[in-house]
Amino acid sequence: MERSGWLAVGMAAALMRPVGAVTVEEAYATLLPRRRLFNPAVSTLPPAEQAALQEIFRLTDAATVERLEVWAPLLAEERTRDVAREYGEVIHRLEQVRCPEALESVRAHIVAALAAQRRMFARWQATGQPPDPAADERLQAASQRLLAAYHALLARYPDEPQENRDAFFDTLRAADVL
């Protein structure tokens, strides 16, 4: 599916859900054909890195849910939610995760991606104009940062089982607005 198609899917999916009613499972079902979960039982990561990565992914999933929950009100031109504040809370919690040095770059890429998405949503909320995915530099930058996080994970953990490498992809793909 082309990149702008993902944005359209996200917008359409958001319109079908009541605000505040999206679970992580529903978000994944809306955005991806399947959700592959990180499996600590087969992981080669040291325990501290496993714990940090699971928390980073939990918060990344929270941002994905937040995105779907704000989409419908923005499309309806409702200004009842403070999108920048709500996204900012998830970003702040990500920044507070006790993160081993091995995962610092991964977290930094994800935080930068979510910050770019936050700016896009704030502008959308302020102007009432949804972004043009092909032209919006914030969305392009966010997508590139999530891809960089994925590649950093693959490079750092080359011996990680494929099921966990697939979970890396799914978590970061679901977080990508494009």
pLDDT tens digit at each of 178 positions of the chain: 344 444 444 544 444 444 457 899 988 888 888 899 999 999 999 999 999 999 999 999 999 998 888 777 777 776 667 777 888 899 999 999 999 999 999 999 999 999 999 998 888 888 888 888 778 888 999 999 999 999 999 999 999 999 999 999 999 999 998 8
Sequence-separated (6 or more) residues with CB below 8 Å from residue 10? 30, 31, 67, 68, 71, 177
Tokens of 83: 């999108």
pTM: 0.86
Amino acid of residue 170: D
Contacts of 161 (CB under 8 A, 6+ apart): 39, 42, 43, 44
User: Rounded CA gap, 86 and 70, in Å?
Assistant: 9
C-beta of residue 171 within 8 angstroms of C-beta of residue 61: yes
* CA distance linking residue 81 with residue 59, whole number of Å: 20
Helices 24-31 + 3-15 axis angle, to 10 = 130
